[in-house]
Amino acid sequence: MHPLITPAALAELLATDHPPVVLDVRWRLAGPPAKADYDRGHLPGAVFIDLDADLSATPGPLGRHPLPGAEHLQHVLRAAGVSAGRPVVAYDAGDGSVAARLWWLLRWAGHREVAVLDGGYAAWTAQGHPVTAEVPAVQAGDITVEPGHLPVLDAEQAGKWAREALLLDARAPERYRGEVEPIDPAAGHVPGAVNAPFSGHIGPDGTWRGAAELAARFRELGVAEGKPVGAYCGSGVTASSVVLALEVAGVTTPEAPAALYAGSWSNWSADPSRPIATGAQPG
C-alpha cells in the first residue's frame, strides 16, 4: 500500500464491500482537545484515536510522547477495529504530520497496509466528500502488535548518527537554530543534525509534494544512496512524517526504512550533560 492516499481514492474504497479502517488522529500541540473536532464532524466510519492517551506512553525522561507499549497499542488498535490484513487509513487536520505517527506505529508493529490521507480532513471536505457526527459501531479487530519492524534510535545512537551518517531535524528553523524553545528544557539541536522542517513536505495547496520534488529536497539535505538516515523532532511525532516522506520520495523503501529517534529533542534536552548546538549550521 502506498503511504499516501488521495481523498478521491479513499472515497472509492469506502464505497466497496471491504472498506479500510479509518482513524481520525487530529491533535493540537497547545489544545483545545481535538476530540471536539471529531464530535462536530469526521469521515464516515472514522474512529477517533487520541495521540496523548492512545499513541504514547507516559511523558518523562524518555520524552513528551514516548512510544507506547506493545500491549497498550494492541488494545487501542483492536478497539478501533484494526485487524491483520485489513488496510488502515489515518488522517489529521491537514498536513499529515500527526497521522504519520499512527502510520509509523502500525508499520513498526508489523502492519504494512496503512496510508495517510493526503491533505487530511481539510482536503476531504474541500473536495466535497461527506462528513458525519455519527460515532460508528466498531467490531473489535484482531491485530497482533509485533514491535521492531521499523528502526528506532536512542539518544546515544542519535548523537552518533548525526556525526557519522545523517540525522534530520524536522522542527521549524527557529527552534533548530535555538532562537526559541517554547516547550523543552533547552534550545538548539543535536550536534551534527541537519534541519529538514516537516512543513517542506507540503505544497502550496496543502497536499504532499510529489516524489520527484521530495527526492530533490532530500538530496539537497544530504540524503544519498547507501547513507543511513534518521529523523527526530520535538517529541517524535512530526519526525514520523520525515520517515514517511523519504519513502514517498523513493529514497528509502519498506525493506530499508529511515530510523526514528523516538525520544527526539524532548529526550535529548532532558539530560543537561548532552551537548547542544545552536545556529543555522549542524555544528
- What strands lie across the sheet with 166-169, from one edge to the other? 152-153, 259-261, 229-232, 166-169, 194-195
- Which grid cell is 218? 532530500
Q: Which residues of 88-123 are buried (b: 16+ CB within 10 A; e: fewer)?
A: bbbbbbbbbbbbbbbbbbbbbbebeebbbbbbbbbb
Cell 499512527 sits at which residue? 102
Q: How far is CA 218 from CA 170, 175, 196, 225, 243, in A?
A: 12, 20, 8, 11, 11
d(CA 209, CA 202): 6
> Could you confirm whether 241 is annotated as catalytic?
no
All residues at 6 or more sequence positions from 23 whose CB lies less than 8 Å from its CB, including other chains: 46, 47, 48, 49, 80, 82, 88, 89, 90, 91, 102
- Which grid cell is 196? 529538514
d(CA 238, CA 171): 8
Distance of alpha carbon 203 from the chain centroid: 17
Strand segments (E) across the chain? 4-5, 21-24, 47-48, 88-91, 114-117, 152-153, 166-169, 194-195, 229-232, 259-261
Q: Could you tell me the sign of the dihedral formed by the alpha carbons of 143, 144, 149, 150, in that order?
A: positive
- Active-site annotation holder among 233, 243, 245, 262: 233
Active site residues: 233
